[in-house]
């Protein structure tokens, strides 16, 4: 009798993956072509044939118009977290094109120490005026709790606030142009550089990440007043001010690795050890990124290292087998920040797991996901920096 040959090379057994990278069929809006290649892999091929010089010319035209129109006002709004993209955006806008942006930050109030350093280093090194909004601790905690049952993710307040606050500032300060970082065609799995499916508009962040409008978050514990900071300016307001946004990654060839090398060397940007991945440079400003990615794993069977390994495969840095080994090691680890999350939201781990079980992707329903526990993690590593700072001074 012939032995059945399995073509399974890694990942979760029973789940379809892109034949080139490691994106699974459980991703939002993923589709594969006849060869079983995902949209992001197709997009990474588009990237090679795009005339980037031509794209940069388009960018120059846009910023020239913005500069001309802005007169004595800021030339554009620059939404920043202090992450790697922030430095790259600021480098292009300030150093390369001589613009005067107004930097804006929606703080999720989960900043790490290195995140605070990076944000303030960015403001200093690019000499930026800055406007920041930080929701109150108790509000963050209750929105984070609601976020789990509402969207199966810990971070509604952040997804929503990073979209709303820069638009509020743009309309309030009459600065029509917003300049974002990475293109949605880079690694989102939904669109391609040659035919982007989603472009930036008023509802961009509601569509790509927040999923629910602020009014949908209102319940007996969350008031209309609570969600006011997350409300988007009206369509009429946006149209009357001519507010529009672009992603700098649609105009300049995007290469995470090279950009990180450059900003570290040139501007002193700092990376750090991250939960749930082998890379040290994505969402370094947030203590909760491990929880966010772990919830994605519980829901869809993949976390941060899947995203990053897929990019590395496309760039020839990792083989597919190496990628699946890293994914198996990192995506499956329970994050150290979970304890803080449970404590501050008042949820038990069983409550959380129960909700996530209901949110689990239908392709994963009968699959038991592997979960690893790392007992070496220290609790204090996962406290937001300002909480740590306050505790330290109260003790002294
Ligand atoms: Zn792929």
Ligand 1 centroid distance, CA of 300 (Å)? 16
Task: Output the pLDDT for position 6.
Answer: 47
Report, in this order, helix, strand and coil percent for the chain, each rounded to 5: 50, 10, 40
Contact 254, 182 (CB under 8 A): yes
| 135: alpha, beta or left? (left if phi > 0; alpha if psi -120 to 50) | beta
Confidence (pLDDT) at 49 = 92
- pLDDT value of residue 5: 47
Check pLDDT > 60 for residue 233. yes
For the chain, first and last CA: distance in Å?
A: 76
CA dist 152 to 146, 229, 355, Å?
A: 9, 22, 8
Ligand 1 centre to CA of 17 (Å) is 8
Rounded to whole angstroms, the Cα distance separating 24 from 33 reads: 14
DSSP label of 50: S
* pLDDT of 160 above 60: yes
**DSSP-derived secondary structure letter, 79:** E
Q: What is the pLDDT of residue 7?
A: 53
For 37-46, what is the mean pLDDT? 91
Q: CA 81 to CA 195: how far, in whole Å?
A: 28
Give the distance (Å) from ligand 1 centre to CA of residue 33.
10
Which tens digits make up the pLDDT trace of 50-64? Answer: 999 999 999 999 999
Quote the Cα angle for 69-75-77, to 5°.
Answer: 130
Check if the beta carbon of residue 131 is closer than 8 Å to that of residue 102: yes
Distance of CA 143 to the CA centre of its chain: 18
Ligand 1 midpoint to CA 187 (Å): 9
Q: Is the pLDDT of residue 197 over 80?
A: no
Token readout for 343 is 């404590």
Average pLDDT of the residues in 257-274: 94
Q: Is the pLDDT of residue 379 over 80?
A: no
Q: Can you give the pLDDT at residue 207?
A: 87
For residue 239, count other CB atoms closer than 10 A to its CB. 12
SS3 of residue 20 by DSSP = coil
How far is it, in rounded angstroms, from Cα 312 to Cα 325? 13
Centre of ligand 1 from the C-alpha of residue 20, in Å: 5
Residue 259 is predicted with a pLDDT of: 96
Q: How many other β-carbons are positioned within 10 Å of the β-carbon of residue 349?
A: 12
What's the gap in Å between 30 CA and the centre of ligand 1?
A: 10
CA distance 112 to 118: 10
Cα(351) to centroid(ligand 1), Å: 34
Question: The sheet that has 244-247: what strands, in order across it?
Answer: 129-133, 101-106, 76-79, 177-180, 244-247
Q: How many residues are given for the chain? A: 396
CA of 189 to the centre of ligand 1 (A): 8
- For residues 82 and 286, the answer to whether their CB atoms sit within 8 Å is no
Low-confidence winner among 103-107, 196-200, 229-233, 390-394 (lowest mean pLDDT): 196-200
What's the CATH fold of domain 49-250? Rossmann fold (3.40.50)
Maximum Cα interatomic distance, the chain, rounded to a whole number of Å: 81
- CB-CB neighbours of 136 under 10 Å: 11
Cβ atoms of 310 and 281 within 8 Å: the answer is: no
Nearest 5°: phi and psi at 390? -65, -45
| Distance (Å) from CA 44 to ligand 1 centroid | 9
Report the candidate in 58, 12, 44, 43 with the shortest Cα–Cα distance to residue 246.
58
Q: Chain-centre distance of CA 288, in angstroms?
A: 12
CA angle 36/37/41 to nearest 5° reads: 170
In this structure, of 244-248, 268-272, 370-374, the range with the lowest mean pLDDT score is 370-374
| Across 27-43, average pLDDT | 92
How many angstroms is it from 43 CA to the middle of ligand 1? 9
Q: Spell out the domain ranges in the chain.
A: 49-250, 273-395
Q: What pLDDT, on a 0 to 100 scale, did the predictor assign at position 8?
A: 56
Report, as an integer, the average pLDDT of 113-117: 96
The neighbouring-strand residues paired with 111 are 286
48 Cα–ligand 1 center, Å: 16
Report CA(193)–ligand 1 centroid distance (Å): 14
Element (H, E) at 103: strand 101-106
Q: Model confidence over 203-220: pLDDT tens digits? A: 988 988 889 999 999 999
């Amino acid at each position: 009798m012939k032995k059945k040959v399995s073509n399974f090379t890694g990942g979760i057994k029973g789940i379809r993956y892109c034949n080139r990278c490691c994106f699974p069929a459980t991703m939002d809006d993923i589709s594969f072509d006849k060869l079983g290649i995902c949209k992001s892999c197709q997009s990474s091929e588009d990237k090679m044939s795009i005339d980037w010089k031509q794209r940069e010319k388009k960018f120059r035209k846009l910023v020239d118009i913005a500069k001309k129109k802005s007169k004595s006002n800021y030339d554009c709004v620059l939404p920043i977290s202090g992450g790697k993209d922030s430095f790259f955006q600021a480098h292009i806008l300030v150093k390369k094109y001589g613009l005067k942006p107004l930097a804006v930050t929606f703080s999720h109030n989960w900043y790490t120490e290195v995140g605070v350093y990076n944000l303030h280093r960015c403001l200093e090194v690019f000499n930026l005026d800055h406007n920041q909004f930080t929701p109150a601790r108790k509000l963050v905690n209750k929105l984070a709790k609601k976020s789990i049952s509402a969207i199966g993710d810990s971070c509604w307040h952040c997804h929503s606030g990073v979209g709303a606050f820069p638009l509020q500032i743009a309309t309030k300060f009459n600065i029509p142009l917003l300049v974002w970082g990475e293109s949605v065609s880079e690694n989102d799995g939904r669109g391609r550089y040659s035919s982007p499916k989603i472009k930036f508009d008023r509802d961009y962040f509601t569509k790509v990440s927040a999923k629910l409008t602020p009014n949908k978050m209102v319940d007996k514990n969350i008031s209309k007043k609570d969600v006011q900071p997350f409300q988007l300016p009206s369509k009429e307001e946006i149209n009357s001010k001519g507010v529009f946004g672009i992603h700098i990654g649609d105009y300049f060839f995007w290469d995470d690795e090279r950009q990180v090398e450059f900003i570290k060397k040139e501007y002193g940007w700092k990376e750090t050890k991250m939960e749930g991945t082998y890379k040290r440079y994505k969402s370094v400003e947030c203590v909760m990124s491990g929880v966010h990615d772990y919830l994605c794993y519980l829901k869809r069977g993949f976390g941060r290292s899947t995203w990053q390994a897929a990019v590395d495969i496309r760039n020839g840095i990792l083989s597919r087998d190496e990628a699946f080994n890293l994914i198996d090691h990192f995506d499956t680890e329970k994050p150290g920040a979970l304890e803080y999350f449970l404590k501050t939201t008042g949820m038990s781990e069983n409550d959380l797991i129960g909700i996530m079980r209901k949110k689990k992707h239908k392709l994963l329903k009968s699959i038991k996901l592997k979960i690893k526990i790392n007992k070496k993690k220290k609790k204090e590593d996962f406290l937001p920096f300002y909480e740590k700072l306050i505790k330290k001074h109260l003790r002294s």
